[in-house]
Structure 1
């Protein structure tokens, strides 16, 4: 029987569930029992897509978010209110129930760093706590600096709400630390989420980050090699990654919201080495019909083979005769086993929305990027890829805000025509994969956390 029991609570989004599920798997591999907690709505989706039971040590559980309909869950303000007013009590009830019914004591509660209120529940119950950051350490550090930026006059803080709190006072570049390049205010995580009040998102993110600083550990799905200036300036952030299913032999990625189309792997097996452009934009990015057509035609006129993930809920249509024209050169799927795709020898580059999970998956497979961010921290991640790692290029939009078919074709040719991008990607891959091998920095940090959970002396 497991001596230690960890409760992990995820934010209810695809890009959060997957990395936290992989973290849970690493704990169960060490004999730690894990109860993984989603909201009831997300729990139903995740468990329905589990191909097989994850083992006796991983138990999936859910708590109510107090919301009555899917439409309510699309309302960010209602979701935040439920998290603050309803979910803490529900989580406390669940932990008490576990203590009554399970003989293994809850040793630690791990909060998704966007669910900082979970740390307060752990403190109230006298249980050890950790925050786990599914985004980059750069994003977490920026959120941790929010109050300082207000104090320094870089962000407004009009509590009367006459001015939206958290909006930069001007367009001057913001520098997180001296060893990092300056950041455009427009790409701060709370400034670019369509349909969400940036002031509301700023306040939520700021409070969550402050709550995470009260945890015993702040763990990041990253490595020293990926973001060295951040870890030098913010030593309380501890990298333990990249934790990806693809870095473990025969491991399957879990936590998917959609069924994967594994037939695409057979198609990849028939393609030449380093020939395929892989295109995927995560679980929530959307296109206008005009932009969708430009992307389709840009891929077609590149005259290169490609695999494109087009979700079932993407409400755009292909140009007339498109599928017939691209024929066997273009493989279009509704959802792909992405880590296996990116690890395939036939893939040459990754056109990505630059979510942190996808960024890590590309890095660990030594792939160069074409960056197409849509919301939130994706713009920061794209900047890191292009300006810091120098393993990718961004797209330029025309005067109407469209990435044209000619721009897409041009950037594909530039990226794949310059060997430097691939060389830089392979160099970064080697550094990062070393960090998670036995003896590597992320490996040692993860072992230290596991030992703490199990109450052992440090290795």
Structure 2
């Protein structure tokens, strides 16, 4: 008897591909044949990064489809990308499924697990007779806002055409859930013009309609960390945290090759001594903010590991303060990209200065690491609210009147964070909850088995 065959389709962004690939491994471990679909552009980046560190993807077949764009520059415009994906992916996916089914290689495709941001693909999958699952790779609280758009518009919280904030007060959907300013809703943080904002908001409406065709909605969270949200949305099943980087020699879906030399550097540092600084794949700093960050790290006098992407700021190589590298010497290590899960699990790490992307949030939580929050856009403000106001396992930076986080603020907040025993205790308690959730008999373990039963036949 042939194995059930599932295809996975993530949104083409780093924070989405990583948990999707870990989900793919979990499904392969459970006996599924797995085909993983990236867009052509992302497929090239992922496969090049895999080759550079000589990892493999095990039993997972990586394939690609077009994203509808031509120039590389356009892919930084997430609004344009989202619109073009909805125009070209349905036909491309249908053709790919038909090709795979007719090839005779392996079993016929039986199920589709698609990114919730691409759930307009669900009706197409249904017409092809597939089981359909929507996967939300971020906090369930952020998903709850998306699903509450009609009510938020009706209540005058947001504009019903653009989604832009109409009030300045914080909003809480249900008791116990995070309170957040409407201007910090995920769809209001993409720095786009009014026309693009309206186009994006219209796509969100299509996403919500597509979810009606999903047999199941799953998310990369766990019940204990967002219990009031799952009470508010009982049909959403948390199966996380899906942790990348725990499988030796396996690809984790990075867009940049990992620099693993930082692990041997961490081995030389004292226990709980090192500041880890990483801002994900999208955050961009101007040169002034970049320099203040560098000088803030220097000012701490502590060892630090800083992930500096080539595009973190303009002309990154020339952006460091004069004499900075010479002054810090071996006390600081700077890499282009890190094996983050391994870094956060390292006993020398004391805290995580983070943009609060959800993958980073889950990885920090599951390793019991306190956060210094520095959100940049989209859902990162919600995650910051969780860390600072709900879970209380971190602090946040404050911007000056000029919009810049000063070197003194950075250094001072790090010292305050590392001296707070209550935050350390909270962080370790969350770590225990995370591992109980994914252990045998845990809440996420049971929900993952429910997913298996739904798509197995």
TM over 0.5: yes
In structure 1, C-alpha distance between the alignment counterparts of 2:308 and 2:427, rounded to whole Å: 26
In structure 2, C-alpha distance between the alignment counterparts of 1:360 and 1:80, rounded to whole Å: 25
Q: Deviations over 1:401-459 (max 9, x none)?
A: 0100111111011100111111100001101110000110100110111122223xxxx
**1:178 counterpart residue number:** 175
1:333 aligns with one of 327, 332, 335: 335
Shift of residue 3 of structure 1?
A: 1.6
**1:162 counterpart residue number:** none
In structure 2, C-alpha distance between the alignment counterparts of 1:120 and 1:308, rounded to whole Å: 44
The SS at the match of 1:327 is helix
Q: Deviations over 1:152-187 (max 9, x none)?
A: 3322225xxxxxx21122212211112224221121
Matching of residues 170-249 of structure 1 within 5 Å: 170-195=167-192, 197-246=196-245, 248=246
Change (3 A) 1:170 1:335: same
Please, which runs of 5 or more residues in structure 1 have no aligned partner?
159-164
Deviation larger for 251-260 or 128-137: 251-260
1:349 aligns with 2:357: no
Q: Deviations over 1:88-113 (max 9, x none)?
A: 00000001111111341212101111
1:115 aligns with one of 118, 123, 146: 118
Q: Deviations over 1:346-386 (max 9, x none)?
A: 00100000000000000000000000000100111111111
**1:20 counterpart residue number:** 20
Change (3 A) 1:77 1:186: closer
In structure 1, C-alpha distance between the alignment counterparts of 2:205 and 2:370, rounded to whole Å: 33
Q: Is the 8 A contact 1:173 1:183 kept in 2?
A: yes
Q: Is the 8 A contact 1:18 1:253 kept in 2?
A: no
The SS at the match of 1:267 is helix
The SS at the match of 2:401 is coil
In structure 2, C-alpha distance between the alignment counterparts of 1:53 and 1:149, rounded to whole Å: 45
**1:290 counterpart residue number:** 288
Shift of residue 261 of structure 1?
A: 0.7
**2:160 counterpart residue number:** 157
Q: Deviations over 1:106-147 (max 9, x none)?
A: 121011111112212211212110011111111111101011
Q: Is the 8 A contact 1:130 1:219 kept in 2?
A: yes
1:395 aligns with 2:397: yes
Q: Is the 8 A contact 1:67 1:82 kept in 2?
A: yes
In structure 2, C-alpha distance between the alignment counterparts of 1:92 and 1:10, rounded to whole Å: 16
Shift of residue 82 of structure 1?
A: 2.0
Matching of residues 439-450 of structure 1 within 5 Å: 439-450=441-452
The SS at the match of 2:431 is helix
1:271 aligns with 2:273: no
Q: Is the 8 A contact 1:131 1:212 kept in 2?
A: yes
Q: Is the 8 A contact 2:223 2:238 kept in 1?
A: yes
Q: Deviations over 1:208-230 (max 9, x none)?
A: 13322420010000000111111
In structure 1, C-alpha distance between the alignment counterparts of 2:94 and 2:142, rounded to whole Å: 29
**1:433 counterpart residue number:** 435
Q: Is the 8 A contact 2:119 2:134 kept in 1?
A: yes
Q: CA RMSD in A?
A: 1.5
Q: Is the 8 A contact 1:366 1:426 kept in 2?
A: yes
In structure 1, C-alpha distance between the alignment counterparts of 2:73 and 2:247, rounded to whole Å: 40
**1:304 counterpart residue number:** 302
The SS at the match of 1:110 is strand
In structure 2, C-alpha distance between the alignment counterparts of 1:313 and 1:274, rounded to whole Å: 29
2:150 aligns with one of 142, 147, 150: 147
The SS at the match of 1:318 is coil
Shift of residue 251 of structure 1?
A: 6.3
Shift of residue 276 of structure 1?
A: 0.3
Q: Is the 8 A contact 1:275 1:348 kept in 2?
A: yes
Q: Deviations over 1:205-250 (max 9, x none)?
A: 343133224200100000001111110110011000101135x464
In structure 2, C-alpha distance between the alignment counterparts of 1:301 and 1:240, rounded to whole Å: 41
TM-score, structure 1 normalization: 0.94
Shift of residue 387 of structure 1?
A: 0.5
In structure 2, C-alpha distance between the alignment counterparts of 1:207 and 1:410, rounded to whole Å: 45
The SS at the match of 1:169 is coil
Q: Is the 8 A contact 1:2 1:32 kept in 2?
A: no
TM-score, structure 2 normalization: 0.94
State the number of aligned residues. Answer: 447
1:67 aligns with 2:69: yes
Change (3 A) 1:74 1:181: closer
Deviation larger for 361-370 or 198-207: 198-207
